């Protein structure tokens, strides 16, 4: 239990922003015929617990289920909403969409559609921090499915032999698309890279404070040259793999209900009250998160659309090659 009220409040604010942003996306996108993609509902305590323990210039890469990673790392809600709506005013001029959207000035280097595909890049960001002797870490979020991708193993091996300031956060929500982690994964995830000498632990991913503590220790180890950490966070996604996925075909109602009863916002709300925060303070935070998110999507609705003349811009930086396809 955390007694630091400021941290408890920060964690609650992060949880509310992730939850309200996702809820607003679902509400507006379904109304406007825009894609929702892969909702982060239910897993908020993982992204928020980790990112609250980070410094602004720490590097984070996300997964395909990346809305929560972007929000938790501090990306601008309005520009994220615009990006999700395909607007030229989005964080990436509408080019990246939900899985690749990035905002590097807050340390968020984007997600990827490839399960596990961002772990090498995070390892490179960690190597950059080490080469520059910086007080900086790189964090890669992945799902449980990613632990079976070979490239993740390659990256972790190099992070271990070079003692890189890397934190791998495995969001074990029990399913890789429809495939149960119990079927697909040999052994315990938290045990997988322990033999590499990598500090590995498993935490309750529904409790933001537990995730925060684990990330804070991992960060301290990383910047003091003690190398990478793997944090497995046990969590659950409330929606299917994507919005509209009929997930009851592979998950029982009983299982869903068990996890809904351990909602990360409810658990943290209770913990925050116990730490001395008031109902009114917490209600304020929730209300702001909700109105900010609604406002972001109202703004996204009137965003300037990406235009044809911009299409070939920026394929290359080299000026003589900058507009390929217009050369003949």
Partner 1 sequence: MTSMKYWQAAADALREEMRRDPSIIVLGEDVAGGAGREAEGIIDAWGGPFGITRGLIKEFGPTRVRDTPISEAGFTGIAAGLAADGYRPWIDIMFTELLPLAWEQLTNKIARSHYLSAGQLRMPVTVKTFGDCYSPACHYPGLICVAPSDPYSAKGLMTAAIRSDDPVVVFDNLRLLRQQGEVPEDAYALPLGQARVLSPGSALTLLGIGASTSLCLAAAADLAAAGLSAEVVDLLTLSPWDVAGVTESVRRTGRLLVVDYDHPECGLSSTICARITESAWDALRAPPMFLTPPPVPAMGMDANPAMAALYLPDAGAVVAAAAKLCG
Binding site for partner 1 (CB under 8 A): 59, 91-93, 95-96, 100, 102-105, 109-110, 112-114, 117-129, 131-132, 138, 150-151, 154-155, 157-158, 161, 314-318, 320-321, 324, 327-328
Residues 6+ apart with CB under 8 A from 17: 71, 72, 77, 289, 292, 293
DSSP type of residue 249: G
Q: Is 92 or 184 the residue whose CB approaches partner 1 more closely? A: 92
The neighbour count for residue 42, using CB atoms within 10 Å, is: 25
Residue 251, CA atoms < 13 Å, CB-side half-sphere: 25
Question: For residue 241, what is the DSSP state?
Answer: S
In this complex, which beta carbon is closest to partner 1, that of residue 133 or of residue 249? Answer: 133
By C-beta, is 228 or 240 nearer to partner 1?
228
In angstroms, the Cα distances linking 284 to 110, 287, 288 are 30, 5, 6
Q: Minimum CB separation from partner 1 for residue 218, in Å?
A: 18
Contact 139, 50 (CB under 8 A): yes
3-class secondary-structure state, position 286: helix
Distance CA 193, CA 157 (A): 9
Q: What angle do CA 49, 80, 61 make, to 5 degrees?
A: 45
Closer to partner 1 at the Cβ: 129 or 277?
A: 129
Our CB check for partner 1 shows the closer of 28 and 108 to be: 108
Q: Which CB sits closer to partner 1, 68 or 111?
A: 111
Minimum distance between the CB of residue 109 and partner 1, rounded to whole angstroms?
A: 6
Least separation in angstroms between residue 26's CB and partner 1 is 24
244 and 36 Cβ atoms separated by less than 8 Å: yes
Shortest Å, Cβ 56 to partner 1: 15
CA distances from 90 to 82, 213, 215, 293, 314 (A): 4, 33, 30, 15, 16
- How near is the Cβ of 176 to partner 1 at its closest, in Å? 17
CB of 239 to partner 1, least distance (A): 25
154 vs 245 by CB, closer to partner 1: 154
As measured in angstroms, the least distance from the Cβ of 325 to partner 1 is: 8
């Amino acid at each position: 239990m955390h007694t630091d009220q400021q941290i408890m409040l920060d964690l609650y604010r992060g949880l509310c922003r992730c939850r309200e942003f996702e809820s607003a996306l679902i509400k507006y996108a379904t109304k406007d015929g825009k894609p929702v993609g892969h909702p982060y509902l239910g897993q908020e305590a993982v992204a928020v617990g980790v990112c609250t323990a980070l410094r602004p210039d720490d590097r984070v890469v996300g997964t395909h289920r990346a809305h929560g990673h972007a929000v938790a790392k501090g990306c601008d809600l309005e520009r994220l909403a615009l990006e999700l709506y395909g607007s030229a005013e989005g964080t990436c001029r509408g080019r990246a969409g939900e899985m690749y959207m990035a905002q590097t000035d807050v340390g968020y280097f984007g997600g990827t559609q490839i399960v596990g595909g961002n772990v090498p890049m995070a390892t490179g960001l960690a190597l950059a921090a080490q080469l520059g002797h910086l007080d900086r870490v790189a964090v890669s979020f992945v799902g449980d499915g990613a632990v079976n991708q070979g490239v993740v193993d390659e990256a972790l091996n190099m992070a271990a032999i070079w003692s890189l300031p890397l934190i791998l956060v495995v969001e074990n929500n029990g399913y890789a698309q429809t495939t149960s982690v119990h079927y697909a994964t040999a052994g315990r995830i938290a045990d997988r890279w322990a033999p590499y000498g990598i500090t590995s632990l498993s935490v309750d991913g529904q409790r933001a404070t537990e995730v925060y503590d684990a990330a804070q220790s991992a960060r301290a180890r990383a910047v003091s040259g003690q190398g990478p950490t793997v944090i497995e966070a046990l969590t659950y996604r409330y929606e299917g793999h994507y919005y509209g996925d009929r997930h009851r075909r592979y998950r029982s109602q009983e299982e869903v209900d068990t996890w809904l009863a351990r909602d990360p916002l409810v658990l943290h709300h209770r913990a925050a009250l116990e730490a001395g925060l008031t109902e009114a303070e917490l209600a304020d935070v929730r209300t702001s998160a909700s109105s900010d998110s609604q406002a972001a999507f109202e703004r996204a609705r009137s965003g300037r659309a990406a235009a044809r003349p911009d299409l070939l811009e920026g394929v290359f930086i080299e000026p003589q090659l900058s507009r390929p396809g217009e050369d003949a």
